[in-house]
């Protein structure tokens, strides 16, 4: 990342209380109470360094990239390409051109489904997803399978919210071309055994796309060690801006895929008879990109990277364990998703209560949680529930937040009973 | 206009609550008391889907006035429905069609009628007005 743009952050020991101070929004009140933000699975809050980077970009560097010979354009281009390098290092990709900027996880998955699918899916080929997928990792595959007369198969899950790996094994076959699953489930928090999924899929010659939207805020991902073919995630869930995301793809695969969208930046030469396309990564980045988004995302990655991954994971595991223990003491409360390996996400239902009512009464007490089906309707159908209340934690949450949540929940239940 | 008189009445009642809890306890209470919609109407045809909570709505014309019953799977949504029933049920179709439901805002429940809540209430009010409009044309 460009030194001129990136705020300098010193390496520090993990301290959630100190971290809170980096996030201006956490100082505000909601409905007359201090905000307790437990909807990090939907979007995470932004540290001051990200906000400042965005502000500084528009004040000092704003210009279009890859075009101008003038000073500002070069500054902006440099910052944007430095941001790509920051992302590359973060996920340990071999080359910066394997890192594509997109609008977000949804856009990344659509890019692969559409571009790879149109070129490589033949009638009768199979794409495998799982029961716990977000709609963003279901619908793009349904669309392309429909178009290419391919077959969509779904890995069942156990009641605990873990993939049925034996069933997955039996779904893999000669016609399996793509396996697309969540690294971490947004509704349940389950951390899927992606190493096994990748190994088993590759044995059958199938590619693997991981939806990493819910994973990257919580743990480090090494695409090379995983040997994953495609990896998608969003900027806004990892403390960066909205409207920007990443698609990592292996060089050979990306080179063999046709462009996703046509327009500026993705071309080498255009005549009315024929257009030749630009090389990676620009082939897949038509039009003026979300420049400040990319630069802001790099600032967010710089911010997260200052923390020792183990310390961050320990803190979040402590929150998860503490919240699980406290919530389980509430009569009638049932946690949905009890996998052995979970990210700091807790979905629950309460006997006889509608998630919407709970969410409304928590909001009145300044607590932000998500209620509903979390864009995973097939998963809710599996559990025969209309939705859940979901508390999803980030590194700036504390045990005190959990205590407030539990007290507010008890109060809500008194009111509803 | 009868509708506005009823709205003012509700606004006055809510002025008594200075705590959010009292207000919501009242709404929850209303929700629990609301007579359930006739079960034959609790079907796909009468369903107004919402992302968060669902609403069932049935309206019928009786002696020039629209009577409606409704239900929801969430009790707070149901409580707000009870207030809407109180204001709009039994009114003339043309008055329903042109009504300005300001009481929701005045009693501090505006957010429940915003599209982001996606609790079925916005669509329900829209549908009620459409029913009012259609019936006033028919009669």
> Which residue of A357, A372, A373 is in closest CB contact with B76?
A357
How do A388-392 and A370-372 pair as beta strands? antiparallel
Cα B48 from Cα B132, distance rounded (Å): 17
- ipTM of the prediction: 0.89
pLDDT, tens digit (0-9, with 9 covering 90-100), for A59-69: 999 999 987 78
Q: What is the pLDDT of residue A13?
A: 56
Of all residues in chain A, what percent carry a pLDDT higher than 90? 92
Shortest distance between the Cα of B84 and any Cα of chain A, in A, equals: 18
| Start-to-end Cα distance in chain A | 54
Cis? peptide before A281, omega within 30° of 0: yes
**Chosen from B18, B24, B27, B117 to mutate, greatest number of chain A CBs within 10 A:** B24
Cα(A232)–Cα(A227) distance, integer angstroms: 14
Mean pLDDT over residues A388-399, rounded? 97
R_g over Cα of chain B: 14
| Domain B2-138, CATH class in plain words | alpha beta
Nearest chain A residue to B29 by CA: give it.
A416
Torsion A208-A213-A218-A222 (CA) sign: positive
- CB within 8 A of A351, min separation 6: which ones? A332, A333, A334
The structural domains of chain A, with segments of one domain joined by +, span 16-42+308-416, 56-305
Q: How many residues does chain B have?
A: 139
CA distance A232 to A141: 15
Centroid of chain to Cα B108: 15
Instruction: Measure A232 CA to nearest chain B CA, in Å.
Output: 26
The beta strands (E) that lie in A14-55 are given as 29-30, 33-34, 36-37
Contact A373 B51 (CB under 8 A): yes
Distances (CA, A) of B120 to B37, B52, B107: 16, 8, 19
| Token pair in block for residue A226 | 């995983």
- Local structure of residue B105 (DSSP, 8 states): H
Mention every residue, 6+ apart, whose C-beta is less than 8 A from residue A288: A64, A65, A264, A265
Strand partners, A181: A210
Name the residue with tokens 């200075």. B18
Interface of A with B (CB under 8 A): 31, 354-357, 359-361, 364, 371-373, 386-387, 411, 415-416
Gap from B126 CA to chain A (nearest CA, Å): 21
- C-alpha A33/C-alpha A27 separation (Å) is 11
SS3 A96: helix
| Domain residue ranges in chain B | 2-138
Instruction: Say how many residues make up chain A.
Output: 417
The whole-chain average pLDDT of chain A stands at 95
Residue A178 phi, psi dihedral angles, 5° rounding: -145, 135
Common-topology check for domains A16-42+308-416 and A56-305:
no
Lowest-pLDDT range of A133-142, A262-271, A329-338, A380-389? A262-271
Encode pLDDT of A181-195 as tens digits: 999 999 999 999 999
pLDDT digits (tens, 9 = 90+) for A2-52: 444 544 444 445 799 999 999 999 999 998 899 999 999 999 999 999 999
Q: Which of A355, A371, A415 sits opposite B28 (nearest CB)?
A: A415
Query: pLDDT digits over A88-144, tens only?
Result: 999 999 999 999 999 999 999 999 999 999 999 999 999 999 999 999 999 999 999
A56-305 is classed CATH 3.40.640.10: yes
Residue of B20, B21, B52 with shortest CB distance to A372: B52
Collect all residues with Cβ–Cβ distance below 8 Å to A36 and sequence separation of at least 6: A366, A367, A368, A401, A404, A405
Burial A95-113 (b: 16+ CB within 10 A, else e): ebbbbbbbbbbbbbbbbbb
Distance between CA atoms of residues A98 and A108, nearest Å: 13
Mutate to test the interface with B, among A356, A388, A389 (most CBs of B within 10 A): A356
Coil/strand/helix, residue B59: strand
As a CATH number, domain A16-42+308-416 is: 3.90.1150.10
Both tokens assigned to A67: 């075009």
Catalytic annotation on A375? yes
pLDDT computed for residue A8 by the predictor: 46
- Judged by phi (left if over 0) then psi (alpha if -120 to 50, else beta), residue A179 lies in beta
- Distance of alpha carbon A295 from alpha carbon A43, whole angstroms: 18
A411 pLDDT more than 70: yes
Show pLDDT as tens, one digit a residue, over chain B (139 residues): 799 999 999 999 999 998 888 999 999 999 998 777 888 888 888 888 766 788 888 999 999 999 988 888 899 989 988 999 999 999 999 999 999 999 988 998 877 776 666 677 778 888 888 888 888 887 6
Long-range Cβ contact pairs of A65-74 (< 8 A, separation 24 or more): A65/A288, A65/A289, A65/A291, A66/A265, A66/A282
pLDDT at B51: 64
């Amino acid at each position: 990342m460009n030194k001129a743009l990136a705020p300098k952050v010193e390496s520090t020991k993990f301290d959630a209380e100190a971290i809170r101070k980096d996030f201006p929004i956490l100082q505000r009140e909601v409905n007359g109470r201090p905000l307790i933000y437990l909807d990090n699975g939907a979007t995470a809050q932004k540290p001051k360094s990200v906000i400042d980077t965005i502000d500084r970009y528009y004040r000092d560097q704003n210009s279009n990239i890859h075009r101008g010979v003038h000073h500002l354009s070069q500054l902006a281009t440099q910052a944007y390409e430095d941001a790509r390098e920051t992302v590359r290092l973060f996920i340990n990709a071999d080359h910066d051109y394997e890192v594509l900027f997109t609008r977000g996880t949804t856009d990344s998955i659509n890019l692969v489904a559409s571009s790879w699918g149109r070129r490589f899916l033949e009638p009768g080929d199979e794409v495998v997803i799982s029961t716990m997928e977000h709609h963003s990792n279901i619908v793009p595959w349904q669309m392309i399978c429909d178009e290419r007369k391919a077959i969509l198969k779904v890995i069942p899950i156990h009641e605990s919210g873990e993939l049925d790996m034996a069933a997955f094994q039996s779904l893999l076959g000669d016609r399996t071309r793509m396996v697309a699953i969540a690294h971490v489930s947004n509704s349940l928090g389950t951390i899927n055994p992606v190493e096994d999924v990748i190994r088993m899929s590759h044995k059958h010659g199938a590619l693997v796309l991981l939806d990493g939207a819910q994973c990257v805020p919580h743990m480090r991902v090494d695409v090379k060690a995983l040997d994953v073919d495609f990896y998608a995630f969003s900027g806004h869930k990892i403390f960066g801006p909205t409207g920007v995301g990443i698609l990592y793809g292996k060089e050979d695969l990306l080179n063999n895929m046709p462009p996703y969208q046509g327009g500026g930046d993705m071309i080498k030469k255009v005549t009315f008879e024929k257009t030749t396309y630009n090389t990676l990564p620009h082939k897949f980045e038509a039009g003026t990109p979300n420049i400040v988004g990319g630069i802001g995302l790099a600032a967010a990655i710089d911010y997260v990277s200052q923390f020792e991954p183990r310390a961050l994971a320990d803190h979040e595991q402590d929150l998860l364990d503490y919240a699980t223990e406290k919530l389980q003491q509430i009569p009638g409360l049932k946690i949905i998703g009890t996998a052995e390996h979970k990210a700091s996400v807790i979905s629950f239902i309460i006997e006889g209560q509608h998630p919407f009512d709970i969410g409304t009464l928590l909001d009145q007490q300044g607590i932000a949680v998500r209620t509903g089906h979390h864009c995973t309707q097939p998963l809710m159908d599996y559990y025969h529930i209309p939705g859940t209340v979901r508390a999803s934690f980030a590194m700036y949450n504390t045990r005190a937040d959990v205590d407030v949540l539990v007290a507010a929940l008890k109060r809500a239940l008194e009111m509803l009973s | 206009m009868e509708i506005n008189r009823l709205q003012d009445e509700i606004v006055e009642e809510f002025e008594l609550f200075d705590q959010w809890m009292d207000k919501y306890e009242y709404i929850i209470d209303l929700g629990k008391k609301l007579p359930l919609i006739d079960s034959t109407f609790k079907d796909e045809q009468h369903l107004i889907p919402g992302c968060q909570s669902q609403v069932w709505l049935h309206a019928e014309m009786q002696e020039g006035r629209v009577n409606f019953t409704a239900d929801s799977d969430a009790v707070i949504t149901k409580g707000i429905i009870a207030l809407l029933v109180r204001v709009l049920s039994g009114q003339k179709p043309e008055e329903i069609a042109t009504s300005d439901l300001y009481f929701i805002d005045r009693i501090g429940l505006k957010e429940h009628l915003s599209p982001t809540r996606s609790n079925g209430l916005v669509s329900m009010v829209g549908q009620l007005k459409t029913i009012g409009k259609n019936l006033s044309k028919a009669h």
